[in-house]
């Protein structure tokens, strides 16, 4: 289902694990900062709604979405106690093919981080044709992709915890 058919902010709290003991990182791109700040707030609010402690949320900023790869990698290395990381960015189509390379690079880079490290990285990068599409998905008429990413982060943190339990 396309985003237009759903609200990105809606979720069933009954399906969300108790997140009070989880610790999360959020790496935020400064490009299109009005959009990325909206995405960050959406994620932050969902974490607090699910009992995550403010002191258990660490935020770093990076210049652009392409730098999310390095920023998330260094956060994985620096904070081994984190249960999940969210990469927040907004890439908007310009006049050239740069959009394609940034989007593909970030996608592949974050995919690689999920393969190479034990800390999951959630993909919260809007890759939109227009600024209006970004506005609509960062707290506008289609809800907030940041909220969706926080729900995914909590669920993946629980999956990681369960997997560790069964491994021991």
Ligand X SMILES: CC(=O)[C@@H](O)COP(=O)(O)O
Ligand Y SMILES: Nc1c(NC[C@H](O)[C@H](O)[C@H](O)CO)[nH]c(=O)[nH]c1=O
Q: Does 123 contact ligand Y by CB under 6 A?
A: no
Which is closer to ligand Y, CB of 137 or CB of 155? 137
3-state SS assignment for residue 137: coil
Q: Are strands 24-29 and 121-128 parallel, antiparallel or unpaired?
A: unpaired
Residue 67 partner contact from ligand Y, ligand X, none using kind-dependent CB cut-offs of 5 to 8 Å = ligand Y
Q: Does 79 contact ligand X by CB under 6 A?
A: no
117 among annotated binding-site residues: no
Which is closer to ligand X, CB of 9 or CB of 29? 29
Q: Does 34 contact ligand X by CB under 6 A?
A: no
**Number of chain positions touching ligand X (CB under 6 A):** 8
Greatest Cα pair distance in the chain: 52
d(CA 34, CA 57): 20
Site string for ligand Y, 45-84 (x = CB under 6 A): ------------------xxxxx-----------------
d(CA 137, CA 121): 20
Helices 145-167 and 33-49: angle between axes, nearest 10 degrees:
50
Would you say 24 and 84 are in contact if contact means Cβ atoms under 8 Å apart? Answer: yes
Spacing of C-alpha 34 from chain mean position: 16
Which is closer to ligand X, CB of 113 or CB of 125? 125
Residue 60 partner contact from ligand Y, ligand X, none using kind-dependent CB cut-offs of 5 to 8 Å = none
Interacting residues with ligand X (CB under 6 A): 91-92, 94-96, 98-99, 102
Active-site residue numbers? 98
């Amino acid at each position: 289902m396309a985003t237009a058919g759903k609200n990105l902010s809606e979720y069933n709290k009954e399906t969300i694990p108790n997140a009070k003991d989880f610790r999360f990182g959020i790496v935020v791109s400064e490009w299109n900062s009005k959009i990325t700040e909206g995405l960050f707030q959406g994620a932050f609010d969902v974490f607090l709604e699910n009992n995550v402690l403010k002191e258990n949320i660490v935020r770093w900023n990076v210049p652009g979405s392409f730098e999310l790869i390095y920023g998330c990698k260094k956060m994985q290395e620096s904070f081994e106690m984190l249960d999940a990381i969210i990469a927040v960015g907004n890439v908007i189509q310009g006049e050239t093919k740069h959009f394609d390379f940034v989007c593909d690079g970030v996608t592949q880079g974050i995919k690689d981080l999920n393969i190479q490290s034990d800390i999951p990285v959630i993909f919260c990068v809007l890759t939109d044709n227009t600024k209006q599409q970004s506005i609509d998905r960062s707290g506008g008429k289609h809800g907030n992709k940041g909220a969706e990413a926080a729900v995914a982060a909590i669920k993946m943190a629980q999956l990681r915890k369960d997997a560790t339990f069964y491994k021991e």
